[in-house]
Amino acid sequence: MTPRRPTTEHTRIQHRHIDFLVIGRGIAGLRAAIELASRGTVLVVSKRPADEPWRRSPLPRLIDQGSSEYAQGGIAAALGGDDSAARHYRDTILAGRGLCSPKAVDVLVTDGLRRVKELIRWGVPFARTGRTLHFARESAHSRRRILHARGDATGEAILQSLLHRLRQCPTVRFFNHHFTIDLLVNDGRCSGALVQDESDGALIAISAKAVILATGGAGQLYTRTTNPTVCTGDGMAMAYRAGATLCDLEFVQFHPTALAMETAPAFLITEAIRGEGAVLLNAPGRQRGGRRFLFDYHRAGELAPRDLVARAIWLEMARSRRPCVWLDATHFDPDYLRGRFPTVYAACLRYGADMTKEAIPVSPAAHFFMGGVVTDTNGASTIPGLYAAGEVACSGVHGANRLASNSLLEGLVFGWRSARSALARCGRLQPARPSVQRRLAAAAIDRVNASGSVPSPERLSAMRRELQALMWRQVGVIRTETSLEQAMAGIDRLQAHAAGTPHDRPGLELRNLLELGALVARSAWQRRGSIGSHYRSDYPTKGRGWRRHHTVRSPTGSTGGAES
């Protein structure tokens, strides 16, 4: 049966009033909610499956859903005796290839120390040797500074700690299994959002003094990605439609080592394994002619920055005409591997690969967006009342290439800072009236309901796969002017066919992916040069004007200017 699009004539829009709205429940969203909870009511909206009806307002069980839960390697913090925030700052700047914001990086590495010490006080079980914290090593770090927990389940351990804190906050509610359709902007200020309850399709206009976007990235733009299925660029697309400025969308980080087996998803094989001494081979094993090849491309070998390692693997695959390379950790003690990397070991074993006995097939996969919603160092976007933190934001901390294990740190630091800023700037405001919010929500519904026939669910899935394949082929690890023009033309064609997407999650996610995919491809086309994660074989050098940041803003968005 073809789904029907709801219209303002037959759809009743409910209204909810809240002091602060947080969209997303990863590390950035939960840390923001903790900070906001003492100063008002807080609603955390996410696509994660519902545990119980929201009216009973239980805090959810932790399940694997967003990117934060999947974070394996750890969180970077210069807490070691031979380390310093200055060294961490320098490593981050070098990895970002000169395009980081020095002010934002300074905030990250200095505030990060305080926030990580806070996690330690809150009981996150970071690994220790005796009573001393154990630090792992990852690519492009000049020191061992990666704190990790439960072997390679750091993100999950941190989120459990944050959820434990939130259990002590009666002012916080969760709307699970709710999809945020669009932000609501009233007289140039973000006044809330329109969300849909996925269990019954009900539409709810939420009024809030401030909105914090913490929706994560958009790895689902690509066929091969380490991201879970919820990472569809919703926050970036919504912010763009609302009129916020986005920046650096051409910088998509491809993780060098994702599991490459026909029967398996592109499961992340953490960089920490290479940091401990695993090597990459161009054949299944040394006994089968496998050779370490990364030193052919960079003097740091397996510990080169991620963009260089991913590109080297891509080129080696093309040279050898093989679909992958192999990560060899068989020289480790098996018990050490199983204890230090239990998540990776179990995942590989599930698909028939025993990393203690054989090299693991790996290849690059889309992993992290350096670009996103432009913010200042306090998380404020160019729309008053709208804040962004974590991967959805572009604060300038990553530049052209993210330093390993700075992502959890970014979410922690800027989740906290955005909440503090929202309290200071918006705490005395009154949320918009219900009648205003319903009017704005009705307009948002009308924008969704474009003319055209509604595609079947099967056609929607096919269009999503077609977009992913197009982005993977034409806007992937290596790009050209021709490939990017082909991508833009292909996305235009898909957008025309998707004009009548249904008012449900698959249709709305496709809408967001198509909109963001077009912006990514155009940003990559505009940067006629290569730097960091953006590599164009037709412009292999940085090119003129390489320090310029490419920004985009919707011509139809309605904003009232930036907060200072």
Q: Kindly report, residue by residue over 259-318, the tens digit of the pLDDT.
A: 999 889 999 999 889 999 999 999 997 777 789 999 999 999 999 989 999 999 999 999
Domain assignment of residue 489, yes or no = yes
CA-nearest of 318, 412, 323 to 111 is 412
Number of domains in the chain: 2
Structure tokens at 82: 């031979």
Which residue type sits at 177? H
Domain boundary among 351, 366, 381: 366
pLDDT at 6 over 60: no
* DSSP H/E element including 437: helix 434-448
CA distance 294 to 317: 12
CA separation for the pair 391, 14 (Å, rounded): 30
Contact present, 216 and 523 (Cβ < 8 Å): no
Reduced 3-state DSSP string for 143-156: CCCEECECCCCHHH
Residue 220 inside a domain? The answer is no
Work out whether strand 20-23 and strand 210-213 pair parallel, antiparallel, or are unpaired. parallel
- pTM equals 0.92
Question: What's the pLDDT band for 451 if we cut at 50, 70, 90?
Answer: very low
- Please say whether the beta carbons of 362 and 224 come within 8 A: no
Instruction: Tell me if 358 is assigned to some domain.
Output: yes
Domain contains 258: yes
pLDDT confidence band for 56 (50 / 70 / 90): very low
Question: Of 309, 333, 366, which residue is a domain's last?
Answer: 366
Q: How far apart are the first and last CA of the chain?
A: 50
Confidence at 186, pLDDT banded by 50, 70, 90: very high
CATH number at 260 reads 3.90.700.10
Q: What are phi and psi of 164, to 5 degrees?
A: -60, -40
Domain annotation covers residue 557 = no
Give the confidence band of 64 by pLDDT, cuts at 50, 70, 90. very low
Q: pLDDT band for position 501 (50/70/90)?
A: low
For residues 360 and 461, state if they share a domain. Answer: no
Between CA 226 and CA 235, with CA 229 as vertex, the angle to 5 degrees is: 100
Q: Contact at 8 Å (CB) between 22 and 29?
A: yes
User: Tens digits of per-residue pLDDT, 338-375?
Assistant: 999 998 999 999 999 999 999 999 999 999 999 999 99
Question: What CATH number is associated with residue 487?
Answer: 1.20.58.100
Return the amino acid letter for 406. N
| Chosen domain end from 305, 331, 366 | 366
What lies within 8 Å, CB to CB, of 431 at 6+ separation is 17, 18, 19, 191, 192, 207, 208, 209
For residue 51, give Cα distances in angstroms to 199, 440, 506: 11, 30, 21
**Is residue 265 one of the residues assigned to a domain?**
yes
Which two tokens mark 113?
């120390």
- What would the mean pLDDT of 42-47 be, rounded to a whole number? 96
**The domain containing residue 302 runs over which residues?**
253-366
Question: Could you tell me if residue 40 is inside a domain?
Answer: no
| Residues belonging to the active site | 306
At 11 the pLDDT is 63
Residue 468 falls inside a structural domain: yes
For the chain, give the mean pLDDT. Answer: 90
Burial 182-210 (b: 16+ CB within 10 A, else e): bbbbbeebbbbbbbbbbeeeebbbbbbbb
What is the side-by-side strand order in the sheet with 325-328? 252-259, 360-369, 325-328, 279-281
Q: Are 221 and 468 in contact (CB under 8 A)?
A: yes
